[in-house]
Amino acid sequence: MHTSAKIRDRQAWMGVLARADRATLEQALEALDPAPTWTRLRAPETGMVMVRGRAGGDGAQFNLGEMTVTRCAVRLACGAIGHAYVAGRDQRKAELVAVLDALLQAGPHAASLRAGLIAAEAARQQARREDALRRAAATRVDFFSMVRMG
Amino acid sequence: MYVAVKGGERAIAASHAVLAEIRRGDPAVPVLAVEQIEQQLGHAVDRVMAEGALYDRTLAALAIKQAQGDLQEAAFLLRAYRTTLPRFCASLPIDTARMTIARRISATYKDLPGGQILGPTYDYTHRLLDAALLEDTPVPPAPRADEPADPAMPRVTALLDQEGLIRRESGDGDADPPDLTRDPIAFPAARPLRLQNLARGDEGFVLALGYSTQRGYGGTHPFVGEIRFGTVAVEITPEELGFAIEIGDIAVTECQTVNQFGGSRTEKPQFTRGYGLAFGHNERKAMGMALVDRALMSRELGEDVTAPAQDEEFVLSHSDNVEASGFVQHLKLPHYVDFQSELELIRRLRAEAEERAAGPTREAAE
Amino acid sequence: MTTLAPGFVDPPRGAQAAFRRLLEAMARPGTVTVLDAPPAPLPLAPAAGAIALTLCDADTPVWLDAALGAPEVTGWLRFHTGCRIVAAPEHAAFAFAADPAALPLDRLPAGSDEFPDRSATAVLQVAGLDEGVSLRLAGPGIDTEATLRARGLPPGFVAWRAANHARYPRGVDVILVAGVSLAALPRSTSVAEG
């Protein structure tokens, strides 16, 4: 199924927001002027997602086990609707993610949030991933390293 | 039959207080913080999440603190907590091929694409108790390579598949799997149910059964094709959005075993597979699970079912330690009336037996 | 999506309170109970909506009659409960009807002898409770006899109830709804006219 560029963008920022620290999201929201206002379409709610795996890694699906997740849906004063599904039980974080999702879709703050919060967080998350992969790479066995004798 | 125990309320309250006092231990010793457990007892957290069947590191750490380190009790706490949460949906199946690798090894191919990445493991430690850990010895940062590990690491099973020598995964890749937390398991059980059961099963039980297959109780000669440990993204497709989003990452351990199979009446000679997948970092569990997974395929492969690990009903009915613990420990509940009846019966049978024994001599005396 | 109405203000507490009331209504068949129900998208009655919010989720297939098939209703139900909406009453765990005559009660699952609980609950929206046809109720939870009045029951309801009752422990449970009020008729209750 072909997803549009707009949807891919939104998928990307929702993933970045879900992985960000709550404090970072609070700061980003506080920095906005005028401050956004919103109503809750669905109050933050903690529940579970059943994580699925595949037999053999690529075969039939099976239910591995559940994980906690918190969701929220908000409507901004301008009418834009934002959604959040965030791993864990942080209800405030889920609400912040939903608000930011709405702000990022359209409106006066969309561009600045994208260039600011999202770009910075995406880079930070990528750097953390790379550091983990660098740490792992240091433990790779080099079977053919030569040791100088004599 | 159970007898209502009255008058125990005060005793129970006192019991809770004793528990809390013992749990706290010596007040002069700093109290254990849940985040210390989460950070520094990661394997305990992993096991509790796996057997509690709920991935939430902080909750698992809290359960461990509350249970004073009794990991099965902690898993029970997580299971109970789980019943209070609604399930929103199921995730898309995690893609372990796109794992952010922390550790990846193979015992079948020495020089495989991506390499052998040892990662954090006790495998090469000498198992000598480390007195340095009695103090708060500073830990220097681990070295980083110049280049990150290659994120694209093909599966070992794919390498074997290129020669057509390994049994392909069968079954409908898209079908919604059954869920034993919703419908009780019935036998014969489909593979997705067996895997779900084993994934949340007791590590010791699964390990022992896996071990038994290596000692001749059924089983074939297994090789570890690959073990991977790292984090994978979890994706869901909320209906109100209509597209997939990532909600975060979880750590999982995956084990693929490759087993010799000489063929049967119905199948040609090929390598067969076993699969283990566990929350967190737990190779012992994932490996045991893969061995038992393979053993439970006997029926489908046309092999003779001779060993406990191949006995589906035996394995799957006894793997859940919350269930097992519940039923074993329920024996502590009052069985007073039951026992009284037993006592009466034994006394009566004894009396009758003694009377029968005395009978012939009495007659002779008369 | 722009016209999506909210559900319970406080979902866990709202659902708990509604569940408690529903439990009481089932335990004392025929008593009319009022639910603290949020507004529901028409023509779904608020009490029916509250029942859905409380009892329906991803594991309970829901059947809706034509009137309730409106996008505002199905969208609201799916958003707040995640329920699957089925076309065939045979697959339903819950069946909602704004027009009780439109619900083929005979086609709802009645459970099996081994699992009588694997049956459907029918939620029928009637024109009014405490008015209309008078029903005599007897059975568990009722001290000798009770009376329930309902206006707008489907034709043949009492005859269907008699056949349903005869299948006990199998059978379908019924909840009658009007506005924010409801009365429950579990399968164990015998229903006669008068």
Structure-token pair, residue C168: 């006990």
**Dist. CA B93–CA B88, nearest whole Å:** 16
Asked whether the bond before B178 is cis by omega within 30 degrees of 0, the reply is no
Q: Please list every residue in chain A whose beta carbon sits closer than 8 Å to the beta carbon of residue B111.
A: 143
Judged by DSSP in three states, A46 sits in strand
Q: Could you tell me if B257 and B288 are in contact, meaning their C-beta atoms sit under 8 angstroms apart? A: no
| C33-34 and B270-279 strand pairing | unpaired
Measured between alpha carbons, how far is residue C85 from residues C63, C89, C111 in Å?
6, 10, 19
The whole model's pTM is what?
A: 0.89
> Across the interface, do B88 and A71 touch by the CB < 8 Å criterion?
yes
Mutate to test the interface with C, among A38, A39, A42 (most CBs of C within 10 A): A42
**Dist. CA C137–CA C162, nearest whole Å:** 12
Asked whether the bond before A34 is cis by omega within 30 degrees of 0, the reply is yes
Alpha helical stretches, state H, chain B: 9-24, 34-40, 42-52, 57-66, 71-82, 156-162, 191-199, 203-214, 283-295, 298-301, 312-318, 321-329, 336-365
**Dist. CA A96–CA B360, nearest whole Å:** 92
Q: Could you tell me if A109 and A103 are in contact, meaning their C-beta atoms sit under 8 angstroms apart? A: yes
Instruction: For residue B231, give the chain A residue with the closest CA.
Output: A129
ipTM exceeding 0.90, yes/no? yes
Stretch 106-165 of chain C: residues touching chain A, C-beta under 8 Å: none
B41 secondary structure, DSSP code: -
**Dist. CA B191–CA B316, nearest whole Å:** 11
Q: Which of B231, B249, B325, B251 is nearest to B46 (CA)?
A: B251
Q: Could you tell me if B65 and B34 are in contact, meaning their C-beta atoms sit under 8 angstroms apart? A: yes
Asked if the C-beta of A5 comes within 8 angstroms of chain B's C-beta atoms, the answer is: no
Alpha helical stretches, state H, A21-118: 22-30, 91-105, 110-113
Furthest C-alpha separation in chain A: 77
Q: Could you tell me if C140 and C124 are in contact, meaning their C-beta atoms sit under 8 angstroms apart? A: no
Q: Could you tell me if A81 and A106 are in contact, meaning their C-beta atoms sit under 8 angstroms apart? A: no
| C173-178 and B270-279 strand pairing | unpaired
In the prediction, which pLDDT does C1 show?
45
In the prediction, which pLDDT does B268 show?
75
Question: For B275, which of A55, A129, A141 is closest by C-beta distance?
Answer: A55
Structure-token pair, residue C73: 């209703």
Structure-token pair, residue B212: 């038994």
- Kindly provide the b/e burial profile for residues C58-74, where b requires at least 16 CB atoms within 10 angstroms of the residue's own CB: bebbbbbbebbebebbb
What stretch of H or E contains C110? none
How does pLDDT run across C49-61, given as a tens digit for each residue?
A: 999 999 999 889 9
Cβ within 8 Å of residue C182, ≥6 positions away: C22, C25, C32, C33, C35, C47, C51, C129, C175, C176
Shortest Cα–Cα distance, A41 to chain C (Å): 6
Q: Could you tell me if A70 and A93 are in contact, meaning their C-beta atoms sit under 8 angstroms apart? A: yes
In the prediction, which pLDDT does B222 show?
92
**Dist. CA B269–CA B262, nearest whole Å:** 5
Integer distance in angstroms from the first to the last C-alpha of chain A? Answer: 63
In the prediction, which pLDDT does B1 show?
61
> Across the interface, do A43 and C11 touch by the CB < 8 Å criterion?
yes
Please report, as a single letter, which amino acid is at residue C161: R
Measured between alpha carbons, how far is residue B307 from residues B201, B213, B315 in Å?
19, 8, 11
Asked whether the bond before C169 is cis by omega within 30 degrees of 0, the reply is yes
Q: Please list every residue in chain C whose beta carbon sits closer than 8 Å to the beta carbon of residue B239.
A: 78-79, 82
Asked if the C-beta of C6 comes within 8 angstroms of chain A's C-beta atoms, the answer is: yes
Shortest Cα–Cα distance, B44 to chain C (Å): 31
Please report, as a single letter, which amino acid is at residue C25: A
Judged by DSSP in three states, A65 sits in strand
Can you count the helices (H) and strands (E) in chain B?
Answer: 13, 6
Measured between alpha carbons, how far is residue C27 from residues C21, C131, C170 in Å?
10, 22, 18
Judged by DSSP in three states, C58 sits in coil
Stretch 14-73 of chain C: residues touching chain A, C-beta under 8 Å: none
- Below-70 pLDDT ranges, chain B: 1-6, 171, 361-366
Q: Please list every residue in chain C whose beta carbon sits closer than 8 Å to the beta carbon of residue B182.
A: 59
In the prediction, which pLDDT does B322 show?
97
Q: Could you tell me if B86 and A69 are in contact, meaning their C-beta atoms sit under 8 angstroms apart? A: no
What does the mean pLDDT of chain C come to? 94
- Below-50 pLDDT ranges, chain A: none
**Dist. CA A47–CA B75, nearest whole Å:** 18
How many CA atoms lie within 13 Å of B213's alpha carbon, on the beta-carbon side? 29
In the prediction, which pLDDT does C3 show?
58
Mutate to test the interface with A, among B56, B58, B101, B116 (most CBs of A within 10 A): B56
What stretch of H or E contains A32? none
β-strand partners of B319: none
- pLDDT of C145 > 60? The answer is yes
**Confidence grade of residue C2 (pLDDT, cut at 50, 70, 90):** very low
Classify residue A28 as exposed, middle or buried by CB count within 10 Å of its CB (0-12, 13-18, 19+): buried
In the prediction, which pLDDT does B174 show?
82
Q: Could you tell me if C58 and B89 are in contact, meaning their C-beta atoms sit under 8 angstroms apart? A: yes
Cβ within 8 Å of residue B366, ≥6 positions away: none
Asked if the C-beta of A57 comes within 8 angstroms of chain B's C-beta atoms, the answer is: yes
In the prediction, which pLDDT does B312 show?
96
CA torsion C73-C78-C81-C86 (nearest 10°) is 90
What stretch of H or E contains B236? strand B222-236
Integer distance in angstroms from the first to the last C-alpha of chain B? Answer: 47
Furthest C-alpha separation in chain B: 105
**Dist. CA A143–CA B64, nearest whole Å:** 41
Asked if the C-beta of B87 comes within 8 angstroms of chain C's C-beta atoms, the answer is: yes
- Find the mean pLDDT for residues C121-139: 96
**Dist. CA A86–CA B248, nearest whole Å:** 7
Integer distance in angstroms from the first to the last C-alpha of chain C? Answer: 47
Asked if the C-beta of B322 comes within 8 angstroms of chain A's C-beta atoms, the answer is: no
Cβ within 8 Å of residue C153, ≥6 positions away: C100, C124, C126, C132, C133, C176
Question: For B236, which of A3, A49, A66 is closest by C-beta distance?
Answer: A49
Q: Please list every residue in chain B whose beta carbon sits closer than 8 Å to the beta carbon of residue A136.
A: 101-103, 117, 119, 148-149, 230
In the prediction, which pLDDT does A2 show?
63
In the prediction, which pLDDT does B366 show?
57
